[in-house]
Amino acid sequence: QVQLVESGGGLVQPGGSLRLSCAASGSIFDIRVMGWYRQAPGKERELVADIVSGGTKNLADSVKGRFTISRDNAQNMVYLQMNNLKPEDTAVYYCSAYLRLHYSSAYSLYWGQGTQVTVSS
């Protein structure tokens, strides 16, 4: 029904940059919120950033000033630009979308499969 496909993860040195992309596809009527979560080994999944269809953004304190979230509503895509990466940013990053399908009146949360980001020298 719905697929969220992430790309852009990889290995980067401290201080480096990566850009994550996520494309949502399927019988989508409306996407209210798109976002990025991350989960490091032994830790709970945490919100990194999200963005509402109208453009309002929310970023975790730990990434403010370093990460930027943006969205292309027409293409059902969300991006996460990550600058000045630190070793503590190492995690699996998951795309999320709170959306409504064409044949449903309810909104539900969907997840991508995750992409690994490793920050190491």
- The 10s digit of each residue's pLDDT in 92-117 is 999 999 999 998 999 999 999 999 99
b/e 19-57 (16+ beta carbons within 10 angstroms → b): ebbbbbeeebeebebbbbbbeeeeeeeeebbbbeeeeee
What is the mean pLDDT of the segment spanning 26-46? 97
Distance CA(38)–CA(112), nearest Å, equals 11
HEC sequence for 13-75: CCCCCEEEEEEEEECEEEEEEEEEEEECCCCCCEEEEEEECCCCEEECHHHCCCEEEEEECCC
Residue type, 21: S
Please, which pLDDT band fits residue 36 given cuts at 50, 70 and 90?
Answer: very high
What is the mean pLDDT of the segment spanning 7-30? 97
Please, which pLDDT band fits residue 61 given cuts at 50, 70 and 90?
Answer: very high
Distance CA(28)–CA(54), nearest Å, equals 17
Distance CA(26)–CA(110), nearest Å, equals 12
Please, which pLDDT band fits residue 42 given cuts at 50, 70 and 90?
Answer: very high
What is the mean pLDDT of the segment spanning 39-61? 96
Q: What is the pLDDT of residue 1?
A: 84
Percent of the chain residues topping a pLDDT of 70: 100
